């Protein structure tokens, strides 16, 4: 292949490196104003009175929008489809405030500084209500009236298969607690909205994962015809799931409609951390039953998901955890029960992997504890239970296709020197009192698109220019990880022309095709395949046109290297440029095709990750000494980007394992600063080795499968497993910060002292 599988810089790498890329936060529109939001300072209550008079007097202030002068139509920030069945309780501005950080109003001013200063001048009078900061408090009934629909939502109670009636089974019971984490995109949340009162058209510029989703939600909130809402996807500085639910867009739209001018809204880091959304805290109680040979017989899992103050995606999220229990391992029985619980805390929402990492953290811990109980090697117990090509996801009986988890585990074991290191570590730990080393392995699996649980389809259009290049029209949402370039590579490969002769852009609801958005790792698998198939159709079209122009039958024409020529009459040779020209002049049409694709497969995709850590048992600090990620990817499109995405995912997942959590103080006030929220920084970021298993065999482009989410799926579980191996512990309260580890060790030391005494 000429392009696929090689490595190219992302399409806007030069613009980004030179500072020429325009993010929404860089935009300047004629007459543009700036908004700053007034947030609730209490965790739960009613806004009784707002006094905006001093804010309105502040120099540069144009207007104030708030809960008493803006539409009270309720919506759900997770909505992205027409008539989507969801619980709608959130408003653009809320008079019933439900967390510290809830939106009450926004000042619109000539400058951001003036808007922010004026926000401080608004006097808010509250009536405070009891609040709950964790799911157990809510279950006591403390905030039953937080929403008309209640505070506790049953999500799913499903039984799959039957529990084998055997004797001599081993059961492990564990508790898993996941803390609230934030996406921490380099680009904070931004939206620019512009309302033209004469045309009645609202234009929204935002970095997001579905332009059509925003169009739908905004159209519904403001009761606008969808054709009057135009959404343009802007250059994005990272999303990780953080820009697929709509938080700033309704606010900027409300402001722009009110003042009939463009309005820019930029959240700072603190606002992005507190007032958008994060990954939900989860509390799992689970029980796994194994045969003596390590075969997994049954899974029983109960999940309490902390939805935060508004439901958003939480009911769907809690259900989806159950769907993710069947993507990697085969076992006869599962009972999964989940509830989503409202608390007066930061709203929960999507995070990279959409419950795959969360389910995996719980699942893989149980596999480790099972291996320990059975005195088995952690890799062996996984190999014993892993799914193989030919197996199917029991939910909907969907074949998992050419799923290479087994191979990934075996290859990783060898290349990570698993068996040798196990011995070395045993010796190291025997000799060392302070530093303890451990090994962890985790298998993560994921999907390739929405099929069959939700509608999935894609459309691509291709047009030929008179200079022989191809303009592609497709609704892409590049997060900064190279989607545009990947599609360009696929198109160039399929068309047989140089990459620079393929041009394409990103989503714009006014011009690009309807699309369900960048979700569920569908972009490469579904949209990429659409590009491939469209290119084939485009080449057929070239042949038809040359046939009409030359009189040769289509069957005798060959498309190759920017040329179409007769197989038996090589003197009949058309450049693509000439085809475009003669089609216009003689046949009176543009060379154009449009192709719609509906996927009917959704193979599994797997990653086996291996971590070696060293824990300082005196300070609780954990260092990752080595890390290997082996991925079953089918076919890498842009190779170095696949590797880099995986390396980034490891830093992200390792941060969740060891450091990251948003702390909420007892007052209900969350800590919204990177001073308190620690990521793994470049000093501690470990080298990550990445290996790709590429044996194609999928319905994706050139046999490709997804990478962006699956590479994040096993990370936290692998690192946690390694820490537990080092300390012979059974902790699964994420993150394992130095404090958590020291508290555990302190407890162990006390127990030992008591034993001695």
Partner 1 sequence: MESLLPKTYEEIPGCLRQMTEKSRFIGGGTDLIIKMRMGLAAPDAICYLGYVRELKEIRREEEWLSIGSCATMTEIEQDPEVREHYPALMDAAADVGSLQIRNNGTIGGNIGNASPAGDLLPVLYLYDAVLEIMGPDGVRRAGIDEILAGPGRLNLACNEAILRILLPPSTGYTSFVKLGSRKKVTISRIGVALRIEMDGDYVKEMKMMVGAIGIKPVRLEKAEEFIKGRTLNEQNILDIAAILSDYIREHVAKEFDRDYKVFASRGVVMDAFHRLRRD
Q: Applying CB under 8 A, which residues contact partner 1? A: 120, 434, 616, 618-621, 623, 659, 675, 678, 680-681, 683-684, 737-739, 742-743, 745-746
DSSP 74-120: -B-TT--STT------B-SS-SEE-STT-EEEEEEESSHHHHHHHHT
* Rg from Cα positions in the chain: 28
- The encoded tokens of residue 721 equal 């497993």
CB neighbours of 92 closer than 8 A, spacing ≥ 6?
65, 70, 71, 103, 221, 250, 251, 254
CB neighbours of 584 closer than 8 A, spacing ≥ 6?
466, 590
DSSP single-letter state for residue 234: P
Residue count of the chain, please give it: 757
C-beta of 739: minimal distance to partner 1 in Å? Answer: 5
C-beta of 644: minimal distance to partner 1 in Å? Answer: 23
Which residue, 38 or 690, is less far from partner 1 as judged by CB? 38
Helices (H), ranges, 299-417: 314-323, 356-374, 378-385, 405-415
C-beta of 618: minimal distance to partner 1 in Å? Answer: 3
φ, ψ of residue 328 to 5 degrees: the values are -125, -35
DSSP 532-543: HHHHHHHHHHHH
C-beta of 262: minimal distance to partner 1 in Å? Answer: 25
Which residue, 15 or 681, is less far from partner 1 as judged by CB? 681
Which residue, 558 or 743, is less far from partner 1 as judged by CB? 743
How close are the terminal C-alpha atoms of the chain, in Å? 71
C-beta of 650: minimal distance to partner 1 in Å? Answer: 16
Which residue, 372 or 623, is less far from partner 1 as judged by CB? 623
C-beta of 659: minimal distance to partner 1 in Å? Answer: 7
Which residue, 113 or 166, is less far from partner 1 as judged by CB? 113
| Angle at CA of residue 504, ends 498 and 505, nearest 5° | 150
Which residue, 388 or 750, is less far from partner 1 as judged by CB? 750
DSSP single-letter state for residue 326: G
Q: What is the largest CA-CA distance in the chain?
A: 100
C-beta of 491: minimal distance to partner 1 in Å? Answer: 42
Which residue, 423 or 746, is less far from partner 1 as judged by CB? 746
Which residue, 587 or 685, is less far from partner 1 as judged by CB? 685
Q: Answer whether the bond into residue 455 is a cis peptide, omega within 30°.
A: no
C-beta of 48: minimal distance to partner 1 in Å? Answer: 25
C-beta of 673: minimal distance to partner 1 in Å? Answer: 9
Strands of the 282-290 sheet, one edge to the other? 152-161, 333-342, 296-308, 282-290, 170-178, 733-734
Rounded to the nearest angstrom, the gap between the alpha carbon of residue 512 and the centroid of all alpha carbons in its chain is 23
Which residue, 336 or 677, is less far from partner 1 as judged by CB? 677
Which residue, 675 or 755, is less far from partner 1 as judged by CB? 675
CA dihedral 511, 513, 514, 517 (to 10 degrees): -100
C-beta of 75: minimal distance to partner 1 in Å? Answer: 32
Strands of the 557-560 sheet, one edge to the other? 557-560, 563-566, 573-575
Which residue, 400 or 659, is less far from partner 1 as judged by CB? 659
C-beta of 679: minimal distance to partner 1 in Å? Answer: 9
């Amino acid at each position: 292949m000429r392009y696929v599988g090689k490595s190219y810089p992302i399409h806007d790498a030069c613009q980004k490196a030179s500072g020429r890329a325009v993010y929404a936060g860089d935009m300047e529109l004629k007459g543009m104003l700036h908004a700053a939001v007034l947030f609730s300072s209490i965790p739960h209550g009613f806004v009784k009175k707002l006094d905006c008079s001093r804010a309105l007097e502040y120099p540069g202030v144009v207007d104030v929008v708030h809960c008493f002068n803006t539409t009270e139509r309720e919506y759900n920030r997770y909505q992205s489809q027409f008539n989507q069945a969801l619980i709608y309780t959130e408003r653009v501005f809320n008079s019933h405030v439900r967390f510290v950080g809830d939106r009450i109003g926004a000042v619109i001013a000539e400058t951001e500084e003036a808007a922010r200063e004026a926000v401080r001048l608004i006097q808010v009078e509250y009536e405070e209500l009891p609040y709950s900061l964790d799911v157990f408090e809510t279950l006591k009934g403390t905030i039953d009236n937080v929403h008309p629909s209640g505070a506790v939502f049953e999500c799913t109670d499903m039984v799959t298969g039957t529990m084998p009636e055997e004797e001599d089974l081993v059961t492990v019971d564990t508790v898993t607690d996941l803390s609230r984490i934030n996406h921490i995109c380099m680009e904070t949340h931004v939206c620019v909205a512009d309302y033209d009162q004469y045309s009645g058209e609202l234009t929204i510029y935002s970095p997001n994962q579905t332009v059509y989703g925003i169009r739908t939600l905004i159209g519904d909130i403001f009761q606008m015809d969808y054709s009057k809402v135009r959404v343009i996807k802007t250059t994005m500085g990272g999303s990780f799931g953080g820009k697929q639910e709509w938080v700033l867009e309704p606010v900027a739209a409300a402001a722009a409609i009110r003042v009939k001018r463009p309005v820019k809204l930029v959240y700072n880091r603190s606002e992005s951390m507190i007032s958008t959304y994060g990954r939900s805290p989860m509390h799992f109680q689970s029980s796994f039953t194994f045969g003596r040979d390590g075969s997994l017989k049954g899974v029983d899992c109960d999940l309490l998901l902390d939805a935060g103050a508004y439901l958003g995606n939480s009911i769907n999220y809690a259900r989806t955890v159950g769907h993710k229990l069947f993507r990697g391992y085969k076992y006869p029985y599962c009972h999964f029960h989940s509830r989503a619980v409202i608390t007066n805390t930061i709203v929960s929402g999507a995070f990279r992997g959409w419950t795959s990492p969360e389910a995996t953290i719980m699942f893989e811990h149980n596999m480790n504890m099972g291996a320990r109980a059975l005195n088995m090697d952690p890799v062996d117990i996984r190999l014993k239970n892993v799914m193989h090509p030919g197996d199917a996801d029991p939910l909907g009986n969907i074949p998992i296709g050419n799923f290479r988890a087994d191979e990934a585990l075996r290859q990783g074991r060898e290349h990570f020197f698993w068996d040798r290191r196990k011995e070395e570590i045993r010796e190291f730990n025997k000799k060392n009192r302070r530093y303890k080393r451990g090994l962890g392995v985790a298998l993560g699996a994921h999907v390739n698109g929405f099929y069959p649980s939700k509608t999935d389809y894609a459309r691509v259009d291709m047009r030929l220019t008179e200079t022989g290049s191809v303009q592609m029209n497709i609704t892409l949402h590049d997060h900064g990880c190279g989607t545009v370039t990947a599609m360009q590579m696929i198109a160039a490969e399929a068309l047989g022309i140089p990459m620079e002769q393929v041009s394409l852009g990103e989503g714009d609801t006014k011009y690009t095709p309807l699309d369900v958005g960048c979700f569920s790792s569908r972009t490469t698998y579904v949209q990429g395949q659409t590009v491939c198939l469209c290119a084939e159709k485009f080449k057929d079209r070239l042949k038809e046109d040359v046939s009409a122009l030359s009189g040769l039958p289509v069957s005798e024409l060959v498309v190759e290297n920017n040329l179409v020529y007769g197989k038996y009459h090589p003197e009949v040779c058309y450049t693509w440029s000439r085809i475009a020209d003669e089609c216009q002049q003689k046949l009176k049409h543009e060379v154009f095709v449009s192709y719609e694709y509906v996927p009917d497969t959704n193979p599994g995709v797997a990653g086996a990750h291996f971590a070696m850590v060293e824990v300082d048992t005196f300070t609780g600090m954990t260092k990752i000494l080595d890390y290997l990620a082996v991925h079953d990817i089918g076919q890498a499109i842009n190779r170095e980007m696949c590797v880099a995405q995986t390396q980034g995912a490891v830093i992200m997942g390792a941060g969740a394992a060891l450091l990251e959590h948003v702390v909420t103080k007892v007052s209900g006030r969350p800590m919204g600063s990177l001073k308190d929220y620690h990521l793994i920084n470049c000093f501690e970021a470990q080298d990550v080795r990445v290996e790709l298993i590429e044996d194609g065999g999928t319905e994706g482009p050139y046999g490709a499968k997804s990478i962006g989410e699956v590479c994040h799926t096993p990370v936290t579980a692998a690192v946690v497993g390694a820490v537990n191996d080092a300390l012979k512990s059974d902790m699964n309260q994420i993150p394992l910060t130095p404090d958590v580890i020291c508290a555990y060790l302190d407890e162990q030391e006390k127990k030992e002292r008591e034993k001695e005494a």
